[in-house]
Amino acid sequence: MSPPSPITPIAGGLPDGADEGAAADGGRRSPEPGSTEPGSTEPGSPEPGSPEPGSPEPGSPEPFLAFEARRALLRDLLEGHPGCPIAAYDRAIAFIDPGPVLDRLAVPADGHPAVGGRSILEHIVAADALELGAAFSTALERGASTLDVELRVGGRARLTYVDFHPELGAAVLVVVLSEGVTLPATPLASTTEHSSRLGVMHRTRAAVISRVDGRLVSLLGWSSGELVGHGSLEFVHPDDHEQGVTNWLDTLSNPCTTARWRCRYRRRDGSWLWVEASSVYDETTDEVRTELLDVHQEVEVQQRLAAREELLSALAETLPVGVACVDPDGTIAYANDRLGLLLGTDVRGVADLTRTTVGDKSLARAIEALLRAGRPGRLVARSTADRTTRHLEWTLRARHGADGARAGGVICVADVTEAVELRARLERQASTDALTRCLNRAATLEAVADALGRVPAGRGVAVMFVDLNHFKEINDNHGHAAGDAVLAAVAGRLRGALRPGDVVGRVGGDEFVVVSPDLEDREAARRAAERISQRLGNDVALTGGTTVAVSASIGVAWAAGGSPDELVAAADHAMYRAKRAASLEPVVADL
């Protein structure tokens, strides 16, 4: 893209395209944009070493073109370039209908389409748009100006502003397109909301605007005349006034030091524009130079992100689970209130997550694997907080940044105490006898198999088959309720005779099996059975003061391996041998 031509003010002379005689000093018609007559210089430029025809002497102010000169200029441009697009502007540099303006000027507009969109800014490239505000201001000051620009659809155009604000409150824009170029009725989608993102203003010590550049005019939509002479605070959002005053005093107190802050400036259309103001006080000129950078899109993105974070935080606080976001270094970036309630502590680091965990270190290892390798995980750990034991389910997932790199993890903690306890109850119900709270037959056989599967070298497993004597008589003489009471009492006595690791199961009506793993030999098994027999020898008191005598026949089988069924069957056979002998001494099977 070639750079735009300098702004050409029209003072005494006319822009290219106007007939000679259109003004008192005349002018000359230029060739089409992009072309140069043989032997001539760039269109609109004076001959080297000579002044512009009809221009004032060097150093003298350039006069504002007379009304008739401006009207003649406009008429000649339209006649000289049939079909060229036109537009009319108000002082806010916003399009208005050009038809009424040209009618009042008595300038025919037939065959000249109106420029589409809201502004010519939508049709030109951003680099050229930086000069557009200055060109408009020049036209307001001198009556007319021209500017060569590159179009976003491709090709170039010469823009000529002719100002009629003193008479009609409007300016007319004539767009002379280079050959083969057509201006679309609908502008191409813009890549930025504002073509000019940076404008400059100067202010007195009293914060009164003394001068502005064309880019600020484009940025805010106010003309220089509407800005100059006014206090800058008039254009600042009321909510930003206090900070603005503080910033201004700091600027004046620190000459040659840049003070920056962000605030909202009012645009001419009534909207507010977020800008970053960078101000420097120059003691030599006693003025403050301020650059206003358009940061509206950036602030909007930040506000959307803040709103999204607020929404996510609100959602996280309503969840029935604890949530934590953990950075790669183990710092807790976010934790909702529910997490602190579950753990009974303020969560500030990874150590706080595991502080109340009871038992193994599996949770700490899982968190370490998450942060080091991004490994997901799920586990249930027991936790004690506020003297309350809870079962907490931990779900760990890795977080990744926009570039795909690991960025820590997300940890969710749910209180599953009720579910764990319910499952335990169901498991107990499925594996235990409701009356005696001993293992049922299936669970007892599983216990035998488990014991045989982990026998230490040189040791064995003992199975003791216990069958109550004369139990039918208790039922017949005292009723089944009394029989149930006897079974419950026997089960309690059996549990009282067990070592840690031993289990007892009820495998029939009045039949029990005791499993004692890790016994050294058959003799140790016999001694264990004798302790059980002695425990069962006492009478059982029934409701109403009645007592019944209780005894049992016990068969014992000991083995270092083999089949669980065979071991239980051997103990059963030994029990029948004891019962036939009517002996209360345990009988040990020969295996």
Which tens digit of pLDDT belongs to each residue from 501-527? 999 999 999 999 999 999 999 999 999
Question: In this predicted model, what pLDDT tens digit does every residue of 42-85 receive, in sequence order?
Answer: 333 334 444 444 444 545 556 788 999 999 999 999 999 999 99
* Res. 588 pLDDT band, cuts 50 70 90: very high
pLDDT tens readout for residues 110-150: 899 999 877 787 788 877 766 777 787 788 888 999 999 98
DSSP state of 74: H
Q: What is the pLDDT of residue 64?
A: 84
Give the lowest-confidence range in 161-165, 280-284, 398-402: 398-402
Q: Which sign does the torsion angle of CA 359, 360, 365, 367 carry?
A: negative
Would you list the DSSP string of 189-250?
Answer: PPSSS-S--EEEEEE-TT-BEEEE-HHHHHHH---HHHHTTSBGGGGB-GGGHHHHHHHHHH
DSSP class per residue in 551-576: -EEEEEEEESSS-HHHHHHHHHHHHH
**Alpha-helix runs per DSSP H in 81-223:** 98-105, 126-129, 132-142, 165-168, 214-220
Q: Which two tokens stand for residue 489?
A: 């009492």
Q: What is the DSSP letter of 116?
A: P
User: Does this model's pTM top 0.85?
Assistant: no
User: Which DSSP string corresponds to 328-396?
Assistant: TTSBEEEE-HHHHHHHTS---BHHHHHTTEES-SHHHHHHHHHHHH---EEEEEEEEETTEEEEEEEEE
pLDDT at site 370: 92
Contact partners, residue 501, CB within 8 Å, separation at least 6: 516, 517, 518
Q: What percent of the chain is predicted at pLDDT more than 70?
A: 86
Residue 120 gets which letter from DSSP? G
What is the model's pLDDT at position 24?
A: 35
Q: Quick one: pLDDT band at residue 94, thresholds 50, 70, 90?
A: low
Distance (Å, whole) CA 119 – CA 130: 14
Examine the pLDDT at 6 and tell me if it is beyond 50.
no
The per-residue pLDDT for 38 is 36
Nearest by Cα to 554 from 520, 590, 524, 514:
514
What is the spatial distance between Cα 81 and Cα 18, in angstroms, rounded to a whole number?
10
Report residue 305's pLDDT band, with 50, 70 and 90 as the boundaries.
confident
* 3-state per-residue secondary structure call for 259-278: EEEEEEEECCCCCEEEEEEE
pLDDT at 425: 86
Place of tokens 């002497």: 57
Which of the 8 DSSP states describes residue 256? T
Please answer whether residues 25 and 17 qualify as being in contact, where contact means their C-beta atoms are separated by less than 8 angstroms: no
pLDDT in tens, 323-338: 999 999 888 988 998 8
Over residues 563-584, the pLDDT tens digits come to: 999 999 999 999 999 999 988 8
Candidates 272, 284, 289, 415; CA nearest to 341 is 415
Q: Which residue bears the tokens 């029939």?
A: 508
For the chain, which domains are there?
8-177 (no CATH), 198-299 (3.30.450.20), 323-420 (3.30.450.20), 432-588 (3.30.70.270)
Query: Is residue 462 within 8 Å of 516, Cβ to Cβ?
Result: yes
pLDDT for 504 equals 96
pLDDT at 129: 66
Three-state SS string over 195-208 comes to CCCEEEEEECCCCE
Of 465, 485, 467, 466, the residue nearest 475 (C-alpha) = 485
pLDDT at 274 over 60: yes
What mean pLDDT do residues 483-494 have? 94
What's the chain's length in residues? 591
Burial pattern 553-588, b for ≥16 Cβ within 10 A else e, equals bbbbbbbeeeebeebbebbbebbeebbeeeebebbb
Q: How many CB atoms lie within 10 A of CB 238?
A: 8
Pick the closest to residue 18 from 4, 32, 29 (CA basis). 29
Residue entry with tokens 């982990």: 454
The residues, any chain, with a CB within 8 Å of residue 321's CB and separated by 6 or more, are 338, 412, 413, 414
Q: What is the pLDDT of residue 40?
A: 36
* Structure confidence at residue 195 as a pLDDT band (50, 70, 90): very low
Q: Which of 78-87, 384-393, 462-471, 576-585 has the lowest mean pLDDT?
A: 384-393
The residue-averaged pLDDT of 446-465 equals 93
Distance CA 143, CA 65 (A): 5
Contact 258, 158 (CB under 8 A): no
Tokens of 465: 């088959």
Question: In this predicted model, what pLDDT tens digit does every residue of 417-431 receive, in sequence order?
Answer: 999 989 888 888 888
Supply 81's token pair. Answer: 């370039």
**Inter-residue long-range contacts of 547-551, CB under 8 Å, 24+ positions, other chains counted:** 548/474, 548/478, 548/482, 548/486, 550/468, 550/486, 550/489, 550/490, 551/468, 551/469, 551/470, 551/584
Radius of gyration (C-alpha) of the chain in whole angstroms: 49
How distant, in Å, are the alpha carbons of 5, 82, 96, 303 from that of 182?
20, 13, 21, 40
